[in-house]
């Protein structure tokens, strides 16, 4: 399971070996803090777009930059381990940058997946993937399933 969690050097080698056997590489990214049904459905849908799903996971540092000082709730090592336990996820690469562009350029996916809450012209890396002959897929999100909403409900109930 932990062999799914790789660094950038390992990623370059593993992804090249996948590319050599002509498998479709799918990439998505996110914080995946407090994993919920919306995450699982999203990642399952992403995996169905190709043969190998690579997940760029925001580090604790980058989550704090994006979501604020109280996030993430779950540390990156635990979030990585949880993602590694999902059948649909093949590789997880933790990244520190606030956006995944450098990682997308390293992976060079055939398919870039984001939630349909992102307009395609705002999806980081979309232009790069399309220029390389790949495609961008926007996956419908499960209404009402979000980590922020879960946190809000917990605060309401438990104060």
**CATH says 2-158 is which class?**
alpha beta
* Span 35-49, average pLDDT: 96
Is the model's pLDDT at 32 over the cut of 70?
yes
Instruction: Tell me what pLDDT residue 2 has.
Output: 66
Cβ atoms of 72 and 80 within 8 Å: the answer is: no
pLDDT digits 0-9 by tens, 57-81: 999 999 999 999 999 999 999 999 9
Instruction: Tell me what pLDDT residue 131 has.
Output: 98
In the chain, domain spans: 2-158
């Amino acid at each position: 399971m932990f062999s799914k969690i790789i660094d950038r050097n390992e990623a370059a080698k593993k992804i090249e070996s996948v590319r050599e056997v002509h498998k479709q590489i799918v990439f998505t990214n996110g914080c995946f803090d407090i994993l919920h049904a919306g995450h699982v459905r999203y990642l399952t849908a992403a995996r169905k777009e190709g043969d190998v799903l690579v997940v760029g996971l925001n580090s604790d540092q980058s989550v704090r930059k994006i979501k604020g000082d109280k996030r993430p709730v779950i540390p990156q090592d635990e979030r990585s381990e949880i993602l590694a336990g999902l059948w649909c996820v093949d590789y997880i690469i933790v990244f520190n940058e606030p956006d995944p562009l450098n990682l997308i350029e390293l992976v060079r996916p055939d398919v870039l997946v984001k939630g349909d809450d992102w307009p395609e012209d705002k999806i980081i890396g979309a232009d790069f993937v399309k220029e390389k002959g790949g495609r961008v897929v926007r996956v419908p999100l499960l209404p009402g399933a979000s980590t922020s909403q879960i946190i809000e409900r917990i605060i309401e109930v438990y104060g």
